[in-house]
Amino acid sequence: MTQGTQKTRKPTQQRGIRTKDKILEAAERLFSNKGFHKTNTKEIAAEAGVATGSVYAYFKDKKSIFLEIYGAASHTTFLKRACRDVDFSKQSNREIIRGLLQSLAKEHTLSPDFRREVSAMRYTDKDVEAIHRRLHETMRSELVDALDRHRKKLRITDLDAAAFVILCACEEVIHAGMSSTPAIEQDRLIDTLADMIARYVFT
């Protein structure tokens, strides 16, 4: 079999897991610094300190690496836990929203440069767009469930549309605040967005 066509494997031993993690970390750095299209698997291997064959042992090609990095950065598990655990009765509306926004910002582990690459590729690569759509739909579903459990406190009636708008706003504000040269610091952006969402959502 040639490289890129051989069957990849899922590591089960610690050594293999560490090697795969090194490849993913190296690839994220290169994709962030050089962009997806200007990076190749040989460079990823060199950055990770492994043989090129080791890259192909775990990944079909550089695109599969890119997709795994993006897919693994999902905040859906976090959002599910946060929405489930929040107590609407013990905090002000603004405190609830601000706490969720701050936690979501902390969970954004991908670099702004990598996310810019994702944003560009969403419109040219159907696989990247499919992951984005899946993650967004899952997060929206979790947010709708959380809102529905506290419907009596809400002024909104279309929970699905509201959840979509809230997530889009959060995504844009958090990414803007994570810029290497933000026009306004992230805490101020989160404070303002929390005020807006609280007034929009709650009675």
Does 158 score more than 80 pLDDT?
Answer: yes
Query: What is the percent of the chain with per-residue pLDDT over 90, rounded to a whole number?
Result: 47
* Length in residues, the chain: 203
Task: Give the residue-averaged pLDDT of 104-118.
Answer: 77
Q: What is the maximal distance between C-alpha atoms in the chain? A: 63
Three-class SS state of 182: coil
Q: Is CATH 3.90.1150.10 the right assignment for the domain spanning 14-70?
A: no
What is the four-CA torsion angle of 125, 128, 130, 133, rounded to 10 degrees?
-120
pTM of the model: 0.77
Angle at 132 between CA 126 and CA 133, to 5 degrees: 85
Fold annotation for 73-201: Tetracycline Repressor; domain 2 (1.10.357)
Token pair 């406190």 in the structure block, residue: 153
- Are the C-beta atoms of 198 and 93 separated by less than 8 Å? yes
Hey, where are the domains in the chain? Answer: 14-70, 73-201
pLDDT band, residue 109 (cuts 50/70/90): low
Does 2 score more than 60 pLDDT?
Answer: no
pLDDT in tens, 16-52: 999 999 999 999 999 999 999 999 999 999 999 999 9
